[in-house]
């Protein structure tokens, strides 16, 4: 009986904890959204920090990211192509390649890539800022942390994931063509027709929204997890661990919901 009560209590505490975290995140997002609509936010200083964030999140890793995309795309395309040949479904290979790679796998991997590289760094930095009182110091100087530290990271994350996923998709389309048709221009017509058939307006909007949500997840969650850190240095790794777990679940949840909306 005692065990049952303890279990229910612990489950209740966990559920309350999840709601508190969720509420905190949505409150933060609402504040950021309101600030985005405020004309005074859009000054030169904020714009400069946004550009810096996009540079650190997307441009600095572009060569590594494109190399990784090239290898993954080539492998997946080769697997799809050989499987399609085995089953006599070669005519569906290009559509299958585009659907699997460009619409699903590459945006997902891009989000994971940015989460591991930038999300963890953001989580650690915000947690350290919180522990070291740097946010209090900024507040004392009346430098708004949301405008100076957090909003540029959110915008940078969204812009970076959308752009990198777009670039990866274009690269995969090119790779797909070269692997299926080689250097011949004969396949250009049917290949572009397949692309046009898949990328209707709804799919395009869905893809952009999904990538934007991925971008938001890999920055918003680490920032809020960092801000929750108690002012004790040994809690920083715990904060990063919690933040990254939440990011992972959020990315998976976004992907699952997107798949369900598209195919069920």
Q: Give the binding site for another protein (CB under 8 A).
A: 43-45, 48, 125, 128-129, 132-134, 136-138, 140-144, 147-148
For residue 246, the minimal CB distance to another protein (Å) is 24
Q: Is the dihedral of CA 95, 96, 97, 103 positive or negative?
A: positive
For residue 37, the minimal CB distance to another protein (Å) is 19
For residue 113, the minimal CB distance to another protein (Å) is 23
For residue 138, the minimal CB distance to another protein (Å) is 7
Nearer of residues 104 and 125 to another protein, judged by Cβ = 125
Nearer of residues 119 and 169 to another protein, judged by Cβ = 119
For residue 244, the minimal CB distance to another protein (Å) is 21
| CA angle in degrees (0–180, nearest 5) for 160-27-145 | 65
Q: What is the DSSP letter of 88?
A: T
Q: How many CB atoms lie within 10 A of CB 234?
A: 8
Is 216:157 a contact under the CB 8 Å cutoff? yes
Nearer of residues 149 and 228 to another protein, judged by Cβ = 149
- Buried residues in 1-24 as b, exposed as e (16+ CB within 10 A): eeeeeeeeeeeeeeeeeeeebeee
Nearer of residues 148 and 188 to another protein, judged by Cβ = 148
Cα 163 to Cα 158: distance, rounded to the nearest angstrom: 8
Nearer of residues 95 and 134 to another protein, judged by Cβ = 134
């Amino acid at each position: 009986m005692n065990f049952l009560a303890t279990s229910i209590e612990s489950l209740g505490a966990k559920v309350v904890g999840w709601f508190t975290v969720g509420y905190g995140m949505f409150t933060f997002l609402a504040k950021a959204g309101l600030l985005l609509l405020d004309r005074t936010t859009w000054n030169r200083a904020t714009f400069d920090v946004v550009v810096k964030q996009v540079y650190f999140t997307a441009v600095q890793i572009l060569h590594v990211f494109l190399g990784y995309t090239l290898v993954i795309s080539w492998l997946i395309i080769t697997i799809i192509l050989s499987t399609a040949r085995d089953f006599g479904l070669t005519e569906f290979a290009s559509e299958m390649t585009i659907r699997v790679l460009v619409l699903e796998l590459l945006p997902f991997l891009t989000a994971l890539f940015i989460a591991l590289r930038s999300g963890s760094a953001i989580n650690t930095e915000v947690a350290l800022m919180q522990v070291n009182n740097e946010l209090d110091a900024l507040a004392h100087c009346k430098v708004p942390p949301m405008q100076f530290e957090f909003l540029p990271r959110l915008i940078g994350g969204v812009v970076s994931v959308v752009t990198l996923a777009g670039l990866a998709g274009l690269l995969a389309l090119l790779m797909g063509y070269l692997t299926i048709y080689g250097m011949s221009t004969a396949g250009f017509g049917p290949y572009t027709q397949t692309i046009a058939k898949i990328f209707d307006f709804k799919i395009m909007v869905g893809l952009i929204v999904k990538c934007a949500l991925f971008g938001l997840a890999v920055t918003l969650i680490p920032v809020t997890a960092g801000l929750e850190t108690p002012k004790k240095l040994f809690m920083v790794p715990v904060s990063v661990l919690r933040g990254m777990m939440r990011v992972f679940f959020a990315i998976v949840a976004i992907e699952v919901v997107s798949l369900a909306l598209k195919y069920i």
